[in-house]
Amino acid sequence: MGKLDGRVVLVTGAARGQGEQEARLFAEEGARVVVADVLDEQGEALAKEIGALYVRLDVGCEDDWEAAVAAVRETHGHIDGLVNNAGILRFHSLLDTPLDEFMEVVRVNQVGCFLGIRTVGRAMADGGTIVNTASCTGLTGMAAVGAYSASKHAIVGLTRVAALELAGRGIRVNAVCPGAVDTPMSNPVPAGGEGGEETARAVERLYRRLVPLGRMGTAQEVARLALFLSCEDSSYVTGQPFVIDGGWLAGLNVV
């Protein structure tokens, strides 16, 4: 018996990184997964490998959401789960952030999450689950990522409100708040790329110093938390942000 047998779950930003691992784990646990992304080649290849449906879905686009949900209904007849995982990160101090960049981050991270909750929430079977991907920076500040942090705080707010509004239908809504996780977002030099090894070593040194558990998290570890929040194991859990950060937010360490 898989933990998601019979359930249809759409994962956004599933072509790589955390979304990819969520799609893989959910398929292993019996879900019929819908891989959604704007990276068509990678998304289609993954979907083929794990027996999923691929849909091109720019999460900031209302029409894309309507088309994606229609495609899921046509293929599977129902939808039971959503993981709002797609996101982008941009680095600038607030005083140097161009408005276009701020709006781009809000469009993907915050509006994308809102449209996902709204479109899938309307179509979803009672008893469904929604997992939103916030961040540690949705609960605390971090210099140089102001637009990102603001959008992730907004996702925590959306999570709480959606949990209140959808509880009557037995739909549970929670958020994952990862710290530093080893994906292309946090380590953008591709493996084997120029300077890649050096960057990877510098990143490793940094997180050994910053994170109490002494390392970055893996996408698989985040996927296991998303699975917990998407299955019956968390049947009495809704409206909460769940930090997964190796102890980073636990407090200051002065010794």
**Residues identified as active-site:** 148
Q: How far is the CB of 88 from ligand NAD (least distance, A)?
A: 5
How many other β-carbons are positioned within 10 Å of the β-carbon of residue 90?
A: 15
- Quick one: 82 or 86, whose CB is closer to ligand NAD? 86
Helical residues (DSSP H) of 6-145, grouped into ranges: 17-28, 40-50, 62-76, 99-105, 112-123
Q: How far is the CB of 138 from ligand NAD (least distance, A)?
A: 8
- Quick one: 106 or 125, whose CB is closer to ligand NAD? 106
254 vs 137, 140, 210, 211, 248, CA distance in Å?
22, 19, 11, 13, 13
Task: Classify residue 146 by its DSSP letter.
Answer: H
Q: How far is the CB of 126 from ligand NAD (least distance, A)?
A: 27
Encode burial over 10-24: b for 16+ CB neighbours within 10 A, e otherwise: bbbbbbbbbbbbbbb
Q: How far is the CB of 104 from ligand NAD (least distance, A)?
A: 9
- Quick one: 150 or 180, whose CB is closer to ligand NAD? 180
- Quick one: 37 or 80, whose CB is closer to ligand NAD? 37
Catalog residues that contact ligand NAD under the rule CB under 6 A.
12-13, 15-19, 37-39, 57-60, 85-89, 108, 133, 135, 178, 180-181, 183-186
d(CA 10, CA 85): 10
